[in-house]
Amino acid sequence: MFRAFAALTLLAVAAPAGATCLFARDSKPQDWFDWAMVLVAADVTAIAQTPRTDVISLRAVETFKGPVGADIMTLQVPNNLWEACRLERPAVGERVLGALNANNDALVVPLSPSYADQMRAARPGPAIPIASENIKPAPAPAPVAATPAADAARCVETPVYGATVKVEDCEYASSGALFLRGEVLRVAKENSAPAREGLPVPVAGQHYLFFKANGRCQDFGRNPALTGSLSHPCCDENHVYCKRKTDFIVNDGPATAK
């Protein structure tokens, strides 16, 4: 409905009469509301001249009276209006009051900030949205689901390996947990879960980082070998081993020195 109005040409080509001049110069805000069917505060974007009229293009910035969604308007005003009524001819970039009555008579007069405040105070109802305020923003695009990383796969069934590990380095994590770095000496798969892409497979002779939920570093002093089950970390929660690139969790209960 509004888009048809936005392109409307408002015509007022009759020669100005004394009453028109008096109205344009001296009207109070309520007079404008009584006279006009459309009242907008607008910025002048262009002025073109014809033999009889000034064609004034406006971009509405506020609607005092009229339809919702005011935007671009073109008013044709008799070019003898300014001199006859001793009115200032609007310039491009100037803030003006644009008015149109039921007979298609149009007026354009300068609009000061203080007079705009008076027009708002006289407006009988709530603010009327202009086009830029009436356009609903496009919905935000739905977030793209992240490609599951290897860590996400660690929270489903994965292979479990029985292994003997030669512990070469031990450090405490928290609450009695240990991080162990060492070499796999022997290894055998203990369940039927298939290997998953991105998860390490223990190989004899290779070195890995292990997490052990309990134990003491001194248990691996003289003969630092550990036998237990190796499983992959599940990082669906904020576990301490998720903060480091832990390869395997040792599930063997208390450490067993060999």
Residue 209 located in a structural domain: yes
| Residue where a domain terminates, one of 105, 132, 159 | 132
Tens of pLDDT along 52-74? 889 899 998 899 998 887 788 88
Lowest model confidence (mean pLDDT) among 87-101, 107-121, 220-234: 220-234
Q: Is the separation of the CB atoms in 143 and 53 below 8 Å?
A: no
Two structure tokens written together for 203: 């190989």
**Predicted pLDDT at 177:** 83
Same domain, 105 and 190: no
Same domain, 44 and 97: yes
**Predicted pLDDT at 94:** 94
Residue 105 located in a structural domain: yes
Instruction: Count how many residues are written for the chain.
Output: 258
Residue 245 located in a structural domain: yes
Residue 18 located in a structural domain: yes
Residue 142 located in a structural domain: no
| Residue where a domain terminates, one of 132, 161, 194 | 132
DSSP 106-144: EEEEE--HHHHHHHHHH-SSS-B-BHHHHSPPPPPPPPP
Same domain, 179 and 239: yes
Which residue reads 């070195």 in tokens?
Answer: 207
Tens of pLDDT along 182-219? 999 999 988 888 888 888 899 999 999 988 888 888 88
Tens of pLDDT along 159-191? 899 999 999 888 887 667 888 889 999 999 888
| Residue where a domain terminates, one of 86, 103, 132 | 132
pLDDT level of residue 145 (50, 70, 90 thresholds):
low
Q: Residue 89: is its pLDDT beyond 60? A: yes
Q: Residue 3: is its pLDDT beyond 60? A: no
Which CATH number does the domain housing residue 23 bear?
2.40.50.100
Residue 165 located in a structural domain: yes
Residue 199 located in a structural domain: yes
What number is the average pLDDT over the span 72-87?
A: 85
Q: Residue 154: is its pLDDT beyond 80? A: no
For residues 230 and 177, give the distance between their C-alpha atoms in angstroms, rounded to a whole number: 16
Q: Is the separation of the CB atoms in 189 and 199 below 8 Å?
A: no
Angle 115-117-123 from CA coordinates, rounded to 5° = 105
For the chain, the helix, strand and coil percentages under 3-state DSSP, each to the nearest 5:
20, 35, 45
